[in-house]
């Protein structure tokens, strides 16, 4: 099946973002993101390097990629591939599982229940999902990840640490466009910077800095797809200049901003 490279996505509500794409050959350079990425291959076969191995997801198979885990992507054979992906905030998964953030060791699998959930999540795509629908998808996805996890889901932090990292996360979201000092997060959270870094990663799968950069880039992603100039995007999202934005964008999405702009169509 021939493929013309293309990406469609919707605006993240903070907990969930949907993306549908197709590629004929090379898709993404090595990158990592601060969310769970749970996907379904629709047709063809896509291969990607992940945790030291080359993995391949074929039509009907699902993928689970964990926060802050480097991976790339390309067609496994001529004809390309198409897929759908849910990017899910680890905080939302943790909230659905009483603080647990499950690890699924089987990266590619035949999982009809998870495939059905992905089909349902894209039923009205690219029309925006209603908030209650987002909640339902996240809850069911969290349950499925828990079932597939390598260990029973259990909370890994006490209530004080949970509240502390929650305050830090809320502050980083509110102050996303600017540089936040370590002293500020210490004051907001009540934890020293090193304890905060450990607890934050345990809760959300990434560092406070990468979490904040991810929030900036989510806005940049939408602005670029809407046609904004890169200099304007950099200024609006807290990056020093266009080259600074490009470095971070490529590391987060595996595509340069120019490549993203040529592939993406804003879907509302």
Domain boundaries, the chain: 6-148, 159-205, 211-266
d(CA 264, CA 5) in angstroms, rounded, equals 10
Distance of CA 42 to the CA centre of its chain: 19
**pLDDT of res. 155:** 55
CATH code at 6-148: 2.60.120.280
Segment 191-243, tens digit of pLDDT: 988 888 888 888 888 889 889 999 999 999 999 988 999 999 999 999 989 99
* DSSP codes joined into one string, 196-217: HHHHHHHHHSS-HHHHHHHHHH
CB 63 within 8 A of CB 37: yes
Return mean pLDDT, the chain: 89
CATH number of this structure's domain 211-266, picked from the four choices 1.10.10.60, 3.40.50.720, 3.10.20.440, 3.90.1170.50? 1.10.10.60
Segment 59-99, tens digit of pLDDT: 999 999 999 999 999 999 888 999 999 999 999 998 888 88
In this structure, what DSSP letter does residue 146 have? H
Closest CA to 178 of 204, 215, 205, 228: 215
d(CA 107, CA 2) in angstroms, rounded, equals 26
Confidence of residue 121 (pLDDT cuts 50, 70, 90): very high
State the pTM of this model: 0.84
The domains spanning 6-148 and 211-266 adopt the same CATH topology? no
Segment 23-66, tens digit of pLDDT: 999 999 999 999 999 999 999 999 999 999 999 999 999 999 99
């Amino acid at each position: 099946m021939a493929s013309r490279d293309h990406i469609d996505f919707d605006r993240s509500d903070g907990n969930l973002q949907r993306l549908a794409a197709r590629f004929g050959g090379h898709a993404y350079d090595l990158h990592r993101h601060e969310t769970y990425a749970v996907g379904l291959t629709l047709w063809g076969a896509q291969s990607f390097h992940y945790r030291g191995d080359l993995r391949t997801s074929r039509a009907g198979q699902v993928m689970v990629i964990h926060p802050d885990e480097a991976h790339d992507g390309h067609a496994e054979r001529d004809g390309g591939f198409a897929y759908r992906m849910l990017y899910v905030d680890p905080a939302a998964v943790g909230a659905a599982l009483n603080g647990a953030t499950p690890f699924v060791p089987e990266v590619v699998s035949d999982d009809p229940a998870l495939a059905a959930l992905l089909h349902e999540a894209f039923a009205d795509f690219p029309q925006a999902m209603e908030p209650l629908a987002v909640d339902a998808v996240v809850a069911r996805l969290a349950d499925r990840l828990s079932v597939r996890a390598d260990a029973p889901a259990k909370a890994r932090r006490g209530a004080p640490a949970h509240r502390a990292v929650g305050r830090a996360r809320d502050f980083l979201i509110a102050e996303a466009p600017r540089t936040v000092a370590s002293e500020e997060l210490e004051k907001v959270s009540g934890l020293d910077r090193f304890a905060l870094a450990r607890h934050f990663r345990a809760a959300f799968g990434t560092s406070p800095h990468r979490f904040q950069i991810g929030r900036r880039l989510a806005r940049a992603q939408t602005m670029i797809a809407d046609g904004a100039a890169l200099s304007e995007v950099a200024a609006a999202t807290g990056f020093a200049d266009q080259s600074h934005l490009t470095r971070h964008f490529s590391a987060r999405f595996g595509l340069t901003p120019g490549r993203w702009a040529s592939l993406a169509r804003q879907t509302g």
